[in-house]
Chains A and B, each alone.
Chain A
Amino acid sequence: MRFVWAVFRREIKSYFVSPLCYTAIAAFLGIMGVLYYALLMGYERTRLRAAMNPLAEMPGVENIVRGMLGSDIMWAFLIIVPLLSMRMLAWERQQHTAELLLTAPMTTWHLVLGKFFGAVFVLITMLALAVWMPFVVVYWGSADPAPLLSGILGVLLYGALMLAIALLASSLTESTIQAGFLTLLFMAVVYVVGILVPRVPLVGENLEQFTPGGNLSLLARGVVDTQPLVYFLSMTALLLFLTSQIVDSQRWR
């Protein structure tokens, strides 16, 4: 574990002096801000329309929160996770520090975990900087805060899963640019599958529980169930395991 800790600490120090990291955080906050604004405007329009129609019910703010925690965050991740993947394993290879890490007396698993938790730390920082947006809505709209809290947990788990995808992608190449594009490609596939699956006739709804997006929306609805937790944690662990196998197999190629 002390090896994981060593790699993790170095990662964090390095992230927070890196322009790329600040670019990613700025991009995240920018995207979330714009989408937040769009959601508020949309809400305002429906509210005005409802006010003019005496038969209509006043809309709640739950949809804003659900929007932020669902599709909004997914689009933001599609930009920033590939950016973060450019500082993962391909980066170590590109600048030849991989030789230092791979000849140290630690297992590849330690290395992979250290790198992964480093990126998760950046993710947590980003989320912490953006989390006021939905809280403001919930507070002023006097909505139930429970779905927001479970939704934030969902976003964290979902983001961690995307970072695990990024780490895997970055283990496949020596170029950081390629790592970024590969991550984008993998995530795009996951998204497209996520969009298509619910449209499969008959079984679509049942299949949705196997997509990351489906599990995220379960949590964003306030359903704190073991199913999405188990789903995210096991998928993430599986990807990290695969990544360490890939790195090891490269050592033995």
Chain B
Amino acid sequence: MTSTSTSASAGGGSASPVPPGRPRQSMIEIDQLHKFYGPFEALKGISFTVRSGEVVGFLGPNGAGKSTTMKIMTGLMPPTRGSVSIAGHDVLDEPLEVRRAIGYLPEIPPLYPEMTVRDYLSFAAELRGVPRARRRRAVDLALERCGLTHMAQRLVGNLSKGYRQRTGLAQAVIHEPRVLILDEPTVGLDPTQVIEIRGIVRELGEERTVILSSHVLPEVQATCHRVVIINRGLVVADGPMDELLSRESHGGVVASLRRPPEELDPLRQLTAVRQVQRLGEQEFRFFLEPGDDVRERFVAGLANSGYGLIEVRAETATLEEVFRDVVLEEVPA
């Protein structure tokens, strides 16, 4: 029922994946998280919920508090105030239950340079409680998933940065956790690797809950159902990808005209047009009147106008624009 997201993984289309439409309970609940590092308040009351099966992009500029939030989610450090519960278990009260449910890729992959990739993953599987009988298969599967099979006998310390990152990711998924917490999983990877990782995340996201932080916005736009953006320790945007994108787009239509009029006025007179902006020599942005069939009427009118319509497209916002908007709102440029 979620075939759209798998088939799109290789192509990396621009449409954001549709969340699977099944009843889902919340897997991650973050409530009013505050964190002080000494006198410095890194988190100022972060709250959001992630439902089972969602793939959530966790965004924010450097120093926003993403890694801090993720460390608190894994029980590596306590919040100063507030609570986190994962798969129904409070991080402070039932840390072992929480740790059984999660796979975690920290910002710096936790690798032993003196071990081979296979040994390392086998150790990770053992630590995550994968029974001995299933360990070898789990390691093989993780190697394959992360494109590491041919590197299995290499020493981790001799791997390139991208392969280290993959090894870190393989470690996080080895026990097929219900909740995956990935702190910048695609950092240091080349574009093909990024697409592969995107595939892995999606594949896992079919069954599992994933929260991943990233600075690569097109990446997030292509992988995640939902986005939570934080800035300076506060949530500044939170919602389904489609919703955020459509909120940001101005509802404009951009058209290229071979023979545009000298002035903007004649364009303003066209059917269904409310406002016009000049974007370039031949390019204009039209804001239309509200209504269901306005685009249809507008395009028909424009085509018959004699200005030589050669291209027309509806404007959709990119995640970059959303990000810039919500983050810059806070920080005066």
Contacts and interface: CB of A to CB of B under 8 A. Distances in A.
A6 B102 contact: no
A227 interface: no
Nearest to A110: B127
Contacts of A104: 99, 127-128
Interface residues of A, number: 25
A6 B96 CA distance: 17
A105 interface: yes
A7 to B, nearest CB: 8
B110 A6 contact: no
B75 A6 contact: no
Nearest to B109: A96
A178 to B, nearest CB: 20
Interface string A103-121: 1111100000000000000
A95 B124 CA distance: 16
Contacts of B124: 100
A97 B110 contact: yes
Interface string B99-139: 11010101011111111000100011011110000000000
Contacts, number: 69
Interface string A160-204: 000000000000000000000000000000000000000000000
For chain B, give the interface size range.
20 to 34
A195 to B, nearest CB: 39
A7 B123 CA distance: 8
Contacts of A99: 74, 76, 104, 106, 108, 110
Contact of A3 (B108, B111, B119, B127): B127
Contacts of B111: 95-97
Contacts of B104: 99, 103
Interface string A18-44: 100000000000000000000000000
A52 interface: no
A104 B75 CA distance: 10
Given A13-B115, A14-B112, A14-B115, A101 B76 contact: no
B96 A107 contact: yes
Contacts of A14: 112, 114-115
A105 B100 contact: yes
Interface string A214-253: 0000000000000000000000000000000000000111
B78 interface: yes
A14 B123 CA distance: 12
Contacts of B109: 96
B77 interface: yes
Given A6-B127, A10-B123, A100-B110, A105 B96 contact: yes
A96 B124 CA distance: 14
A17 interface: yes
Given A10-B123, A100-B171, A251-B76, A105 B128 contact: yes
A104 B106 CA distance: 13
Given A17-B114, A97-B110, A99-B110, A6 B123 contact: yes
A105 B99 contact: yes
A101 B112 contact: no
- A-B pairs, 7 with minimum CB distance: A100-B110, A104-B127, A6-B126, A105-B99, A105-B100, A99-B106, A97-B110
Given A10-B112, A96-B110, A105-B129, 14 more contacts: A6-B127, A13-B115, A13-B119, A17-B114, A97-B111, A99-B106, A99-B108, A100-B171, A103-B76, A104-B128, A106-B96, A251-B78, A253-B77, A253-B78
Interface of B: 74-78, 92, 96, 99-100, 102, 104, 106, 108-115, 119, 123-124, 126-129, 171
28 contacts: A6-B127, A10-B123, A13-B119, A14-B114, A96-B108, A96-B109, A97-B112, A99-B74, A99-B104, A99-B106, A99-B108, A100-B110, A100-B124, A100-B127, A100-B171, A102-B76, A103-B75, A104-B127, A104-B128, A105-B99, A105-B100, A106-B96, A106-B127, A251-B76, A251-B78, A252-B78, A252-B92, A253-B77
